Structure 1
Amino acid sequence: MTADANSSETPIRVGLLGTARITKFAILNPARTNPRVEVVAVASRSEDKAHRYAKANRISRAYAGYQALLDDSDIEVVYNPLPNNLHAEWSIRALQAGKHVLCEKPIAANAEEARAMHAAATQSGRQLIEAFHFRYHPLAARMKEIVASGELGAIRHLEAQFCVFIPGKKDIRFAYASGGGAFMDVGCYAVNVCRFLAGSEPIVKSASARLIQPQVDHWMSAELEFPGAITANVTGSLRSQIWNWRAFVQVTGEHGTLTVLNPFLPQFFHRITVESAAGRRREFVSRNPSSYACQLETLVNSVRGGVPLPTDGVDGIKTMTVIDAIYSAAGLRRRGETLQRS
């Protein structure tokens, strides 16, 4: 490695833990159009799978086992899209190996794990980023701008829903041991966007869930309360029928309402609707670059130039604290605990 290998002009070198489907969208596709990023390695528990994936995606190095990738001193950033129950273990190992980490959401199985991850990042002096990619798209900034402008008046209520359909019951997202559940997959988006727009941290007033497996929610909804008597409702579902797919956030103020359709994947489509004393209007922001591309560019700017990250380890702890409390309010165990077999 040359002396200027980590200069601001040198592409960051990324290694992939596993071959999850989301990797194509979160890393591979945006990296192809970003000259400041080079995906140099992939690791899998199966050596054959690692080599096949590397060949298919023109990645130069393939490793059998995740630790082998962490031992590669050439890699600067590790992307961790492993199952939720492995986020903390392998992110901490990567941080201790001197790597920056982009970890898929939710950052951990629970808030305790998230705190351990943040501590490892602080000790190593490396960045820990939770991959809430929507927060990096211009749509997020526009939502925040409208709320902060005062056009809606004092905020009174927020509602966010993310409801999709996952067929069958064998998907890893329905396994408690893997940190599964609706709020560990889509509900966390609803929690994060409400925290973001409220600009403060809520308490959980109540929650109810529908289960697909013992302790595993396929649908859950929770009532929150933010400082200033701001109420919120957050809902996540993995079993909503295809025709009942929902993704939105709505902010109600004393003088108006902001409704945003599809704030979580705005590159596919989105719509901003504002109703206030000035009338009713619709807005759109540019769909491209994608939320994933915006996230990757900000990651580069942070690694190379110290640009602050909105979804760092501290933000991850706050989101997981709310999610833990929601599971508790619904009478369910937080993720990451050992269940007793009956």
Structure 2
Amino acid sequence: MLLFDFLTRVYYGVVSPPTIPKKEDDAIRIGLIGASNIAPFAVITPAKSHPGVIVAAIAARESNRAREYAQKYNIPIVHPSYEALIDDPSIDAVYIALPNSHHFEWSLRAVQAGKHVLLEKPCCSNATEAKMLFNHPLVTAPNAPVLLEAFHYQFHPAWQAFLGEIRQSPGAIESVFSQFYLPRLLLGRDDIRFHYSLAGGCLMDVATYCISAIDEAVVATFVTPDSQRVRVQGDMSTAGGWPSFLPASWTKGIPSLRWPKSEVVFKPVLVETTDQNGVQLQHFVTRTITIWNHMLPVLYHRIDTSDFHTLHREEEIVKSWSEVSYKKAYNWPEADERAVFYKDWWSTYRCQLEEFVNRVKGRKGSGIWIDGDESIAQMETIDRTYEKAGLMPRPTSSFEI
């Protein structure tokens, strides 16, 4: 049964939904700016199961690439340029998955044309661009088009369940850790992720997820104003060391495989003081909450809540033990009204698309959203991390409206 459930989620969520609903008369018509590798996962497949979304057009830097892409994914309209796509009155929204250096310009151009924007992360090349974008009068005006940075994992019930466990836990947070790896063999040396001029770098790709929760790989430690320690680890180059029982030199060309995870460790909490035979014992609990594979939870994920108990007699630990509970959340809890609309096989991208459409349509939705202030704070943290590492933040665009 577990294998069947897994295969069902994978097929419905990643390949094709169980049914293709009839599209609504007022369905949002989305145009793709860029013939990207991520669009099939982020928009094209999720749109199949959404009655309120039609992927209607595409424009790419190379016209041949756009035509081939459109034929492969059954996209009816191919525009000769990005400008032609955003000027198309039949297009309501755009999905921008261009190199990071182009995000600022084409987001503003699209908003100026009255298009809603689903913008791949990171939203911009640096914090200066992020502030100019999200504080621009075109974006902040009443009834302005919707602009969303696509940190898709936040929209899935699994991530929200993880946050719920954190909020319900006693005590203060002591430290946070997040990791995400992308096997080196999946990327060519000329991949745009490695080009400084295109605002590339690990911190501008996989590690930006870790900060949201230097330069092919990054390990960074942050200290928050209330002294919490946050450590992030992202890597687009690591290979070797897997399988672990073989010498590293033998596995040099094999990508390292590590689950994406985020982990929160709480400070010890005194739960009770007891008196045994005239000796006072203090009972402390240190809690750690971990979510495994929050990036692709529809395939598999797990939320571990581990409590480490210690009994202290003055400075001495006289006894210790651990208790661990496990949880999964492919949907909202049954009693939650959101569970009626969400499906267990929805990917993080499908959840994100649902809330993007809800915001465009003015519907209540799940209540999960990423606002401009969060996107700006994300880019500020990335810039400071580069500077602390002795590296330059990515170049600022000269584009103006």
Q: Normalising to structure 2: TM-score of the pair? A: 0.73
Contact kept in structure 2, 1:54 and 1:61, CA below 8 Å:
yes
Match of 2:229 in 1: 231
2: CA distance, partners of 1:65 / 1:174: 25
1: CA distance, partners of 2:128 / 2:363: 26
Distance 1:169 1:49, change over 3 A: closer
Contact kept in structure 1, 2:128 and 2:396, CA below 8 Å:
no
Contact kept in structure 2, 1:15 and 1:41, CA below 8 Å:
yes
Output one character per residue of 1:58-91: Cα deviation in whole Å (capped at 9) or x when no partner: 2121101100000011211110000000000101
Q: Which of 379, 382, 386 does residue 323 from structure 1 map onto?
A: 382
Q: Which residue type is aligned with residue 392 of structure 2?
A: R
Q: Which residue type is aligned with residue 141 of structure 1?
A: Q
Contact kept in structure 2, 1:302 and 1:309, CA below 8 Å:
no
Q: Which of 69, 78, 101 does residue 53 from structure 1 map onto?
A: 69
Match of 1:305 in 2: 362
Question: Does residue 1:137 correspond to 2:156, yes or no?
Answer: yes
Where does 1:189-208 land on structure 2 (aligned, <5 Å)?
Answer: 189-193=209-213
Is 139-148 or 267-276 further displaced after alignment? 267-276
Contact kept in structure 2, 1:164 and 1:246, CA below 8 Å:
no
Q: Which of 258, 262, 270 does residue 245 from structure 1 map onto?
A: 258
Output one character per residue of 1:11-43: Cα deviation in whole Å (capped at 9) or x when no partner: 111010011000000000000111111111111
Any idea what SS the aligned residue of 1:160 has?
Answer: strand
**Shift in Å, 1:288:** 2.3
**Shift in Å, 1:270:** 1.2
2: CA distance, partners of 1:236 / 1:279: 30
Question: Does residue 1:105 correspond to 2:121, yes or no?
Answer: yes
Match of 1:149 in 2: 168
Distance 1:325 1:306, change over 3 A: farther
Distance 1:309 1:92, change over 3 A: farther
2: CA distance, partners of 1:91 / 1:102: 9
Match of 2:350 in 1: 293
**Shift in Å, 1:57:** 1.5
Match of 2:95 in 1: 79
Match of 1:164 in 2: 182
Where does 1:259-278 land on structure 2 (aligned, <5 Å)?
Answer: 259-276=290-307
The alignment yields a C-alpha RMSD, in angstroms, of: 1.8
**Shift in Å, 1:234:** 0.9
Is 91-100 or 268-277 further displaced after alignment? 268-277
Q: Which residue type is aligned with residue 378 of structure 2?
A: T
Is 20-29 or 329-338 further displaced after alignment? 329-338
Output one character per residue of 1:184-243: Cα deviation in whole Å (capped at 9) or x when no partner: 1111001001xxxxxxxxxxxxxxx3xxxxxxx011111111232111111111012223
Q: Which residue type is aligned with residue 194 of structure 2?
A: F
Output one character per residue of 1:269-327: Cα deviation in whole Å (capped at 9) or x when no partner: 21111012692111111162100000000001000015565223221111000000000
Unpaired runs of 5+ residues, structure 2, are 1-23, 240-254, 268-285, 310-321, 331-343
Q: Which of 120, 123, 147 does residue 128 from structure 1 map onto?
A: 147
2: CA distance, partners of 1:219 / 1:337: 22
Distance 1:245 1:164, change over 3 A: farther
Match of 1:212 in 2: none
2: CA distance, partners of 1:131 / 1:260: 20
**Shift in Å, 1:53:** 1.8
Is 114-123 or 305-314 further displaced after alignment? 305-314
1: CA distance, partners of 2:184 / 2:131: 30
2: CA distance, partners of 1:55 / 1:223: 46
Match of 1:35 in 2: 51
Unpaired runs of 5+ residues, structure 1, are 1-7, 194-208, 210-216
Match of 2:270 in 1: none
Match of 1:199 in 2: none
Contact kept in structure 2, 1:163 and 1:245, CA below 8 Å:
yes
Question: Does residue 1:188 correspond to 2:214, yes or no?
Answer: no
Match of 2:104 in 1: 88
Aligned residues: 308
Contact kept in structure 1, 2:263 and 2:289, CA below 8 Å:
yes
**Which protein has the larger Cα radius of gyration, Structure 1 or Structure 2?**
2
**Shift in Å, 1:337:** 5.1
1: CA distance, partners of 2:26 / 2:194: 41
Match of 2:325 in 1: 281
2: CA distance, partners of 1:246 / 1:100: 34
